[in-house]
């Protein structure tokens, strides 16, 4: 098996367990101790426990949160990097988001957004997860930022 195929398998298992099924314990199996996860709306989180905490924050804000690989796009690998295009979201049932407090808790709003994440692997473990999510779209769906043409 090539390095790229092995890395795609590792990322696919991590992504399915962590982001789709909401299992924070997969971090202990597939991520390095100094693992860094970084998304603009959540800031950098360093270490396994911080990554687990980030998922728990998502689950508090969106009890049914789930993310999936998006459409026809495959996982793309080159050496120690794997890229995933994804869609995710859920129903807002909590008081706060990882980015901060909302004016109105428990809005019940179903929101979905897309993004792209680059994973870096070393010696069969994920050392870094850096993503770009469509945060503006998410904030507009929650009513934190007016949508274009809304007159607000």
3-state secondary structure the chain: CCHHHHHHHHHHHHHHHHHHCCCCCHHHHHEEEEEEEEECCCEEEECHHHHHHHHHHHHHHECCCEEEECCCCCCEEECCEEEEEEEEEEEECCCEECCEECCCCCCCCEEEEEEEEEEEEECCEEEEEEEEECHHHHHHHCCCCCCCCCCC
- Lookup result for tokens 């929650």: 142
- Whole-prediction pTM: 0.87
Contact 122, 32 (CB under 8 A): yes
Which two structure tokens, joined as six digits, stand for 69?
């690989």
pLDDT of residue 43: 83
pLDDT of residue 120: 98
- CA–CA separation, 20 and 69 (whole Å): 9
Q: What pLDDT, in 10s, does the model give residues 140-149?
A: 877 777 778 7
Ranges under pLDDT 70 in the chain: 95-104, 150-152
pLDDT of residue 152: 56
pLDDT of residue 95: 65
Q: Could you give the domains of the chain?
A: 3-141 (3.10.450.50)
Residue 141's CB is within 10 A of a number of other CB atoms, namely 19
pLDDT of residue 117: 97
Pairing mode, strands 125-133 and 31-39: parallel
pLDDT of residue 136: 77
pLDDT of residue 16: 95
């Amino acid at each position: 098996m090539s390095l790229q195929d092995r890395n795609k398998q590792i990322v696919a298992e991590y992504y399915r367990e962590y982001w789709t099924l909401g299992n924070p314990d997969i971090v202990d199996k597939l991520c390095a101790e100094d693992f860094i996860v970084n998304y603009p709306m959540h800031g950098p989180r360093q270490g396994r426990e911080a990554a687990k905490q980030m998922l728990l924050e998502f689950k508090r804000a969106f009890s049914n949160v789930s993310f999936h690989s998006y459409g026809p796009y495959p996982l793309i690998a080159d050496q120690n990097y794997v890229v995933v295009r994804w869609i995710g979201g859920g129903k807002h049932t909590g008081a706060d988001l990882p980015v901060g407090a909302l004016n109105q808790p428990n809005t019940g709003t179903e929101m979905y957004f897309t993004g792209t994440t680059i994973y870096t692997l070393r010696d069969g473990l994920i050392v870094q997860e850096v993503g770009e999510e469509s945060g503006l779209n998410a904030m507009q769906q929650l009513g934190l930022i007016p949508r274009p043409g809304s007159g607000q």
